[in-house]
Amino acid sequence: MAPARLSLVSESKPQRTPLAGEGPRKTNPYASEHNKLAVAWKQRSLTLPDDARVPGVYERHQRAYPVCLPIEYTSHNLLPEVRDGAIELFVELDIPWHDSVGGGPSNHLRDSQVQCVNALFQMVSDPERIKLAFGGAIDIAEVLQIEESRFMTFEYIGPTDYFGEGIRHGKDVGRRRGTNCTSVDAAFLYRTSTGATELALVEWKFTESYLTALDRNSDSDAIRIGRYSADLEAADGPVRNDVLPIELLLDEPFYQLMRQQLLANRLEQARAHGADAVRVVHVLAPDNTGYQHSLVRAEHRAAGGSVDEVWTKLLRTPDRFHHVDPVVFLDPAVTSDEYVDRYSPASAADA
């Protein structure tokens, strides 16, 4: 998961100077709305002590914001039903938290990784929740263990370094889940109604958008092209190379989409975990127009009117990519009453 672009005060305030000819930075109304919802939840939630309702310092900016928890209450960003178990699992699997505070989760209430864990962690031991959440998008007859005693895992990178991502300065330093290599936010294994075994790679989006063309480094670009170009250029690869050249797939969100689809294809070819098929499952709210408008270069916009439209053109195997509307998680049977209260716009309206 690429770190969320977290706007803290004003969605219209740029975080850097746009590139020449790029125009002013765009805004994401979906993110702005969820800032307000998060702050409202912070004030009413019975899962927080009163001292946690004041603005918290966001370490990246060294400033306090209402949408952040105080540093001493950062663990409360995880809901009570997942908090202790998730922190313990991330330590066991050596998974870093994005925007970590003291080795724990981010204190930003709109953190995407935190929302993902709040939604999915109970599925680690409860496969029925997986069927309820994802069964409308993919054919799940039975959920299988993906790791010992786990039906769901996090920051999955696969068993093999297919792209040499663990090579740094000519040395194999290995990979770490969730950082500096192709990771998906979560993964699970299942059997379909026809008896096939399949692997689902879950990518979770909350309020992410990539509305500004970031300056790129030619040396870094060369390394990335060297890692992924062979898979992209393969005639039987999952991503077409005749819509946009690889240089234009190094901008987010296409860079992440491309890498995860290439990983899924390699895992399927290797029959990882005995899987006959590997599918990328993208959790993304239809209302997040900022994400769909993340077409930062003229060539992207020429290829389609939204990220989904461009990505659909790029997919050679569209049945290996699936969308899930996160509204399915606003059901206590899938997540919890606390999750629904925190993330549902209806909860704020009823407060």
Chain segment 153-162, per-residue pLDDT in tens:
999 999 999 9
Q: How far apart are CA 91 and CA 103, in angstroms?
A: 9
Instruction: For the beta carbon of residue 180, count every other beta carbon within 10 angstroms.
Output: 12
Q: Strand 197-204 and strand 167-168: pairing?
A: unpaired
Instruction: For the beta carbon of residue 21, count every other beta carbon within 10 angstroms.
Output: 7
Q: Following DSSP, what letter does each residue of 24-54 receive, concatenated?
A: SPP--HHHHHHHHHHHHHHHH-TTS-GGGGS
pLDDT at site 214? 87
What is the DSSP code (8-state) at residue 177? T
Q: How far apart are CA 263 and CA 157, in angstroms?
A: 8
Within the chain, which residues score under 50 in pLDDT? Answer: 1-5, 7-25
Q: Strand 184-191 and strand 153-156: pairing?
A: antiparallel
What is the DSSP code (8-state) at residue 286? T
Q: How far apart are CA 87 and CA 105, in angstroms?
A: 8
* Its pTM surpasses 0.75: yes
pLDDT at site 2? 42
pLDDT at site 349? 61
Which 3-state string (H, E, C) describes 91-160?
HHCCCCCCCCECCECCCECCCHHHHHHHHHHHHHCCHHHHHHHHCCCCCCCEEECCECCECCEEEECCCC
Chain segment 68-96, per-residue pLDDT in tens:
999 999 999 999 999 999 999 999 999 99
- Can you give the residue ranges of every domain in the chain? 29-332
Q: How far apart are CA 253 and CA 202, in angstroms?
A: 15
- Looking at residue 200, its amino acid is A
